[in-house]
């Protein structure tokens, strides 16, 4: 199955002994010239790369105050050391969050602090060498930017932000990651990560409409580029294509149908994902986000609703107004943006849709909180809504729901192992090993409660789990979309 050993599922939790350097070989493919240049980065390692990198570090620490505070304030208390799923799954000490940060911090100290300039050995400061750069490329691509470590750090130091900065510095000297940069280029050229052009998208949606009608006898529309619709739905392109994502998309369509609200997808903004965040590039994140604004203006919609995608929701919830606002042309009655979970939850509360829970009686469910939703956003007006709303929608759609252990859910949730731009086959080993803590928590509810399926609201989590679950003895179709459950349970034709 693979040329590495899958970690053994243990009694949860066990903190492993360290094994130095065991993951030093793990590196993603480097982006070719064409993928670099379309994002405005040099095509290959520039001649004076050390100076360019140091200048960029200076620019970033000057621009992002938080980054400099994070680099200056670690007291080496060790609280974060056993909190990263990649350390727990690989045992490599450089996957401890504090050690990962130090790869960047030791260079920052050397060039930007008095002690590091004059007494480098005393403060653990080092020159930026090719060896250090190699370590950056390896270990900053073993961080899914999940922010779990920051929850346990008494100073709130966010390794994700350091990892984003390191990736941006590497892009600026010509050493970008193929997977992320190629995908961002596809969004610019075609509109989505999958490179699905408008005719193929239209064809796919037509096929889904036929599937729903064959299945239910009800004509439910999945409109594309429909001017004058009330709602623009921006969803990850995986929703158009892969299982179980596409079942979730059919769920959104059925909910809009029953609510009697006109909606549309857009071929121009046919991607909710925004990989600009993963590479730490504000400019690229902004360019991707602006397509949503352009589509909303062009179609004349009143609201924007995001589909099930974890980091897309973080970008939307936290940054969309700054990146692409103001959205003063939308209906001020609704939040900008809104999550599909808020929309469906609200309808359930108002009895605007009818759900027959028994339609999901073949499943016993648990729920995986996606990192970017859990630790970098909210849903609804109340704190913690991002934990409550998805669970309430699941419980309204099925009879059997069981949470995983408390220290693996909500704010303490473990990453799926494939986030932050790591969802590529060249990183399969780190993806499988990083999934270990989540798989152990899943095993717990499988044994305690006979759980058969895990629901999620993130395209990356769903793709990652479908791929790595078989390594741990679970079936690839035991991961489901939350709106897939809604789709199964919704009673069509009940509301007018
Ligand atoms: S942000 Fe997540 S992946 Fe990165 S070091 Fe922290 S816990 Fe690990
Ligand atoms: S928990 Fe925070 S202060 Fe403590 S070692 Fe980790 S990053 Fe440093």
For 388-403, what is each residue's pLDDT tens digit? 999 999 999 999 999 9
CB 120 within 8 A of CB 137: no
Alpha-carbon gap, residue 137 to 421, rounded angstroms: 13
Ligand nearest to the CA of 149: 1
Task: Give the rounded distance of the alpha carbon of 453 from its chain centre.
Answer: 20
pTM confidence score: 0.96
Our answer on whether the CB atom of 71 is closer than 6 Å to any ligand 2 atom is no
Distance 98 CA to ligand 2 centre (A): 6
- Structure tokens, 191: 């509109």
Q: Which atom of ligand 2 is nearest to the CA of 152?
A: 1
- Quote the strand ranges of 368-464, DSSP E: 453-456
Q: Which atom of ligand 2 is nearest to the CA of 81?
A: 6
Closest CA to 272 of 242, 308, 322: 308
Instruction: Provide the 3-class DSSP secondary structure of residue 489.
Output: helix
Alpha-carbon gap, residue 130 to 385, rounded angstroms: 46
CB 211 within 8 A of CB 250: yes
Give the model confidence (pLDDT) of 451-493 as tens digits.
999 999 999 999 999 999 999 999 999 999 999 999 999 999 8
Our answer on whether the CB atom of 153 is closer than 6 Å to any ligand 2 atom is yes
Instruction: Provide the 3-class DSSP secondary structure of residue 140.
Output: coil
Alpha-carbon gap, residue 167 to 165, rounded angstroms: 5
Task: Give the rounded distance of the alpha carbon of 212 from its chain centre.
Answer: 28
CA distances from 192 to 20, 74, 186, 272, 296 (A): 39, 39, 6, 8, 16
CB 373 within 8 A of CB 386: yes
Distance 91 CA to ligand 2 centre (A): 18
Residues whose beta carbon lies within 6 Å of some atom of ligand 1: 83-84, 86, 97, 100, 143-149, 159-160, 163, 415
Distance 20 CA to ligand 1 centre (A): 18
What's the confidence (pLDDT) of residue 29?
A: 98
Residue nearest to atom 8 of ligand 2 (CA): 74
Our answer on whether the CB atom of 74 is closer than 6 Å to any ligand 2 atom is yes
Q: Which atom of ligand 2 is nearest to the CA of 159?
A: 7
CB 254 within 8 A of CB 212: yes
- Structure tokens, 439: 């798989």
- Structure tokens, 126: 């080092």
Instruction: Provide the 3-class DSSP secondary structure of residue 232.
Output: strand
Ligand nearest to the CA of 155: 2
Ligand nearest to the CA of 161: 1
CA atoms within 13 A on the CB side of 286: 7
How many DSSP H helices and E strands does the chain contain? 22, 7
Residue nearest to atom 6 of ligand 1 (CA): 149
Distance 280 CA to ligand 2 centre (A): 22
Residue nearest to atom 5 of ligand 1 (CA): 97
Strand order in the sheet with 303-306: 263-264, 231-234, 303-306, 338-339
Our answer on whether the CB atom of 84 is closer than 6 Å to any ligand 2 atom is no
Closest CA to 448 of 361, 359, 366: 366
Alpha-carbon gap, residue 421 to 423, rounded angstroms: 6
Q: Which atom of ligand 1 is nearest to the CA of 100?
A: 5
Residue nearest to atom 2 of ligand 1 (CA): 146
Distance 164 CA to ligand 1 centre (A): 11
Q: Which atom of ligand 1 is nearest to the CA of 101?
A: 5
CA distances from 275 to 155, 181, 462 (A): 27, 8, 17
DSSP state of 233: E
Distance 76 CA to ligand 2 centre (A): 5
Our answer on whether the CB atom of 157 is closer than 6 Å to any ligand 2 atom is yes
Q: Which atom of ligand 2 is nearest to the CA of 70?
A: 7
Distance 406 CA to ligand 2 centre (A): 23
Alpha-carbon gap, residue 303 to 296, rounded angstroms: 8
Give the number of other CB atoms < 10 A from CB of residue 52. 17
What's the confidence (pLDDT) of residue 1?
A: 55
- Provide DSSP, 67-134: HHHHHHH-----TTTT--HHHHHH--GGGSHHHHHHHHHHHHHHHHSHHHHH-GGGGT-----HHHHH
Phi, psi for residue 47 in degrees, rounded to 5: -60, -50
DSSP state of 353: S
What's the confidence (pLDDT) of residue 12?
A: 63
Distance 157 CA to ligand 2 centre (A): 7
Q: Taking the alpha carbons of 429, 430, 435, 437 in that order, is the dihedral positive or negative? A: positive
What does the pLDDT profile of the chain (496 residues) look like in tens digits?
Answer: 578 999 999 876 789 999 999 999 999 999 999 999 999 999 999 999 999 999 999 999 999 999 999 999 999 999 999 999 999 999 999 999 999 999 999 999 999 999 999 999 999 999 999 999 999 999 999 999 999 999 999 999 999 999 999 999 999 999 999 999 999 999 999 999 988 999 999 999 999 999 999 999 999 999 999 999 999 999 999 999 888 999 999 999 999 999 999 999 999 999 999 999 999 999 999 999 999 999 999 999 999 999 999 999 999 999 999 999 999 999 999 999 999 999 999 999 999 999 999 999 999 999 999 999 999 999 999 999 999 999 999 999 999 999 999 999 999 999 999 999 999 999 999 999 999 999 999 999 999 999 999 999 999 999 999 999 999 999 999 999 999 999 999 999 875 5
Q: Is 278 exposed, middle or buried (0-12, 13-18, 19+ CB in 10 A)?
A: buried
Ligand nearest to the CA of 371: 1
Closest CA to 350 of 260, 263, 259, 262: 259
Our answer on whether the CB atom of 160 is closer than 6 Å to any ligand 2 atom is no
Closest CA to 48 of 164, 174, 137: 174
Residue nearest to atom 6 of ligand 2 (CA): 80
Residues, the chain? 496
- Structure tokens, 355: 């759900």
What's the confidence (pLDDT) of residue 466?
A: 97
């Amino acid at each position: 199955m693979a040329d590495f050993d899958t970690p053994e599922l243990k009694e949860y939790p066990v903190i492993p002994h360290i094994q130095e350097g065991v993951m030093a070989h793990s590196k993603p493919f480097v982006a070719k010239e064409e993928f670099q240049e379309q994002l405005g980065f040099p095509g290959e390692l520039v001649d004076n790369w050390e100076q360019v990198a140091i200048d960029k570090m200076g620019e970033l620490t000057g621009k992002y105050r938080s980054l400099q505070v994070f680099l200056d304030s670690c007291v080496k208390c060790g609280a974060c050391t056993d909190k990263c799923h990649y350390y727990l799954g690989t045992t490599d000490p450089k996957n401890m969050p504090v050690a990962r940060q130090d790869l960047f911090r030791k260079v920052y100290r050397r060039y930007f602090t008095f002690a590091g300039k004059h007494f480098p050995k005393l403060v653990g400061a080092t020159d930026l060498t090719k060896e250090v750069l190699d370590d950056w490329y390896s270990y900053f691509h073993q961080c899914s930017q999940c922010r779990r470590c920051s929850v346990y750090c008494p100073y709130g130091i966010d390794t994700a932000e350091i990892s984003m900065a390191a990736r941006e510095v590497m892009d600026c000297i010509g050493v970008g990651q193929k997977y992320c940069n190629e995908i961002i280029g596809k969004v610019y050229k075609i509109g989505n990560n999958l490179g699905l052009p408008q005719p193929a998208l239209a064809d796919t949606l037509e096929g889904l409409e036929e599937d729903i009608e064959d299945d239910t006898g009800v004509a439910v529309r999945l409109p594309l580029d429909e001017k004058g619709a009330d709602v623009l739905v921006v969803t990850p392109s995986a929703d158009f294509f892969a299982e179980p994502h596409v079942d979730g998309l059919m769920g959104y369509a059925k909910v809009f149908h029953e609510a009697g609200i006109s909606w549309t997808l857009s071929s121009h903004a046919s991607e909710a994902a925004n990989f600009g965040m993963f590479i730490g590039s504000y400019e690229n994140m902004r360019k991707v986000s602006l397509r949503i604004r352009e589509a909303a203006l062009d179609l004349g919609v009143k609201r924007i609703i995001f589909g099930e995608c974890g980091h897309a929701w973080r970008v939307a919830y936290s940054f969309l107004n700054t990146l692409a606002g103001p959205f003063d042309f939308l209906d001020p009655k609704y939040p900008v943006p809104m999550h599909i979970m808020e929309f469906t939850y609200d309808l359930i509360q108002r009895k605007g849709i009818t759900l027959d829970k028994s339609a999901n009686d073949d499943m016993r469910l648990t729920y995986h909180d996606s990192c970017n939703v859990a630790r970098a956003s909210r849903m609804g007006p109340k704190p913690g809504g991002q934990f409550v709303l998805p669970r309430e929608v699941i419980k309204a759609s099925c009879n059997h729901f069981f949470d995983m252990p408390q220290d693996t859910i909500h704010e303490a949730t473990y990453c799926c192992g494939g986030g932050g731009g790591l969802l590529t086959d060249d990183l399969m080993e780190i993806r499988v090993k990083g999934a270990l803590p989540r798989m152990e928590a899943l095993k717990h509810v499988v044994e305690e409660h006979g759980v058969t399926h895990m629901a999620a609201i993130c395209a990356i989590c769903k793709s990652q789990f479908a791929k790595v679950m078989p390594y741990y003895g679970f079936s690839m179709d035991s991961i489901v979309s939350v709106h897939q459950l809604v789709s199964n349970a919704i009673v069509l034709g009940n509301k007018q």
